[in-house]
Amino acid sequence: HIGLVWFRHDLRVVDNTALIKASEKCNRLVALYTPTPMQWHEHNVSPMQANLIERRLIVLKEQLKQLNIPLIMVEVPDFNSLPQVILELVGELNIKHVFCNKQYEWNENKRDSQVAQLLANNMVRFTSFDDSCVIPPLKVLTKKGEAFKVFTPFKREWLNLFRHQSQQSARPYPVPEPLDAPPLEVEQLDNQKYQHSGRIKLTYPFAETMLWPVDEEAIRQRLVTFCIEKAADYHQNRDIPSIDGTSCLSPYLALGMLSPRQCIAALMAEYPECLEYPDEGAFTWLNEIIWREFYRHLMVAFPKLSRNQPFQPWTSKVPWAHSEDHLRAWQQGRTGFPIVDAAMRQLLATGWMHNRLRMITASFFTKDLLLHWHIGEQWFMSHLIDGDLASNNGGWQWAASTGTDAQPYFRVFNPTTQGERFDPKGEFIRTWVHELKDVPDKYIHQPHNWPQAETLDYPKPIVDHKAARLMAIDVFKKAKGEA
């Protein structure tokens, strides 16, 4: 019979659980993508991420065509309008079964339940699969059957399960075969409503993303090159923003252009014994993939995380500051702290930011400026090309000390010493803060102390870190009732 595969953040054909299962069950398939521009605005989807999606859909359409599966795109304003639209489409094409991969966020989950209900009322099956994690949420549990709240024991149990699982699966990841039956005729559908021919175009603000290739081979090459050339030194290089030492695969993982299983398979192909060497580069990289899983699992176990709530309830008592000037200075990279400013400018220019810098800028925002982490989280989301609710929220709540297994509130990053440690010669700073290119190394982290500082068109530090640190600790201490 005819099935429909509903693509969301799983924009690939390789190792796509829903697609593989659907092609086993049905002899004819249609693929659907449903952009929801109003919802995206509400969720702060960045123009760069939307552009990456658009470019990838063009590739996906071609790949699906090779499998005899036409791709239809239906743009609707928001999730509320989706159930009815999908019901109409399945009616027009006589579809009996809808397949998709789960999205774990609150609104997405609610949307899927509504679609499933409406379809069930009309005798159409709806099946969703765990796909975006190596080990599905709610499967990595404590002995008491509860979700882990701390990363290290989570990782230990995750690795136990992973060892067990990888012994069972001989093939690293499956690739679907073309369907035998000819592609379903979709030409009779109204092309205005159900776009099936012509160039894919989304209605969303535009931002250029050509630095990020979207074709299968280029993404695979990036993964394999990382594993061959960079994974070995990852543990040494991953904290140095001036070194191209991380994989830069996050935009692909966030949109499901690549699965974490593909990442691990490529890593294990180079380092089959990496689980035995936890201090080395390859394992350190695997560790980051496990962090990604941890945040996704947390979001399922604690749905409040996708609803703007802090993990630690006491932190809602923190009296956050309100300063438009500070906010703007941080957003535009004009805080007078060179490492923070370089990072924020990298974000504006490229939509990507190095992990160490995400930690430094988020800590500066929530501790030195004492601004509410929601605001920083939103700014990141609306500019990141790899925006991902679970990882972004996890990262922000970690930095703000509001999350599970977060940075303790009394351990506040010093933005100057962080710069000295991770960008000692100021190479990264000079790449992004051009005003500082002639400042000698000795002053690059505190240019206001350079005897020729007067000549610079660069702000003095907008806060005194020492005083701001004490203030933040005091405020958190009182909120926790420890003062």
In angstroms, give the least distance from the CB of 196 to ligand FAD: 32
| Total number of residues that touch ligand FAD (CB under 6 A) | 29
Q: Which of 34, 209, 250, 418 binds ligand FAD (CB under 6 A)?
A: 250
Which of 358, 367, 383, 465 binds ligand FAD (CB under 6 A)? It is 358
247 binds ligand FAD (CB under 6 A): yes
Looking only at the bridges linking them, the beta strands covering 125-129 and 97-101 are parallel
- Contact region with ligand FAD (CB under 6 A), list: 8-16, 63-71, 95-103, 385-393: 385-393
* Cβ 236 to ligand FAD shortest distance, Å: 13
At closest approach, how far in Å is the CB of 74 from ligand FAD? 27
**Nearest residue (CB) to ligand FAD, 285 versus 450:** 285
Structure tokens at 316: 């809602």
Query: Rounded to the nearest 5 degrees, what angle is found at the Cα of 110, between the Cα atoms of 107 and 113?
Result: 155
429 lies in the binding site for ligand FAD (CB under 6 A): no
Compute the least distance from the CB of residue 261 to ligand FAD, in Å: 13
Q: How far apart are the first and last CA of the chain?
A: 67
Residue whose CB is less far from ligand FAD, 3 or 387: 387
249, 264, 346: which is closest to 52 by C-alpha? 249
**Is there a contact between 403 and 314 (Cβ–Cβ < 8 Å)?**
no
Question: Minimum distance from CB of 229 to ligand FAD (Å)?
Answer: 13
Cβ 64 to ligand FAD shortest distance, Å: 25
Among 355, 382, 414, 446, binds ligand FAD (CB under 6 A): 355
Q: Which residues are catalytic?
A: 288, 291, 320, 355, 373, 396
Residue with nearest beta carbon to ligand FAD: 395
Cross-strand bridge partners of residue 4: 30, 98
What is the x/- site pattern for ligand FAD, positions 256-295, by CB under 6 A? --------------------------------xx-xx--x
Least distance between ligand FAD and beta carbon 356 (Å): 8
Distance between CA atoms of 392 and 381, rounded to whole angstroms? 7
The structure tokens listed for 423 are 């960008």
Region label for 30, one of left (φ > 0), alpha (ψ between -120 and 50) or beta (otherwise): beta
Cβ atoms within 10 Å of 219's Cβ, excluding its own: 22
Element (H, E) at 347: helix 338-350
User: Over the range 144-160, which residues count as b (16 or more CB within 10 Å of their CB) and which as e?
Assistant: eeebbbebeebbebbbe
DSSP designation for 458: -
State yes or no: residue 63 binds ligand FAD (CB under 6 A). no
**What residues pair up with 101 in beta bridges, in sequence order?**
129
Closest CA to 392 of 348, 345, 347, 359: 359
Residue 63 Cα distances to 89, 93, 134, 214, angstroms: 22, 21, 24, 12
CB-facing half-sphere around the CA of 261: CA atoms within 13 A: 23
- The CB-of-27 to ligand FAD minimum distance in angstroms stands at 36
Rounded distance between C-alpha atoms, residue 423 and residue 198, angstroms: 48
Sites for ligand FAD among residues 295-324 (CB under 6 A): 295
If the CB atoms of residues 97 and 296 are measured against ligand FAD, the closer one turns out to be: 296
Region 107-126 residues binding ligand FAD, contact defined as CB under 6 A = none
10 part of the interface to ligand FAD, by CB under 6 A: no
Contact pick of 162, 386, 409, 432 for ligand FAD (by CB under 6 A): 386
Segment near ligand FAD (CB under 6 A); pick from 201-209, 322-330, 387-395, 465-473: 387-395
Q: What are 129's strand-pairing partners?
A: 101
The interface with ligand FAD within residues 360-379 (CB under 6 A) comprises 362
- Judged by CB under 6 A, the chain residues 159 through 218 that form the site for ligand FAD are none
* Only segment of 66-74, 212-220, 249-257, 333-341 that touches ligand FAD (CB under 6 A): 249-257
Report how far residue 409's alpha carbon sits from residue 430's, in angstroms, rounded to the nearest whole number: 31
481: which 2 tokens?
């009732």
Residues that bind ligand FAD (CB under 6 A): 238, 246-250, 253-254, 288-289, 291-292, 295, 354-355, 358-359, 362, 380, 384, 386-388, 391-392, 394-396, 399
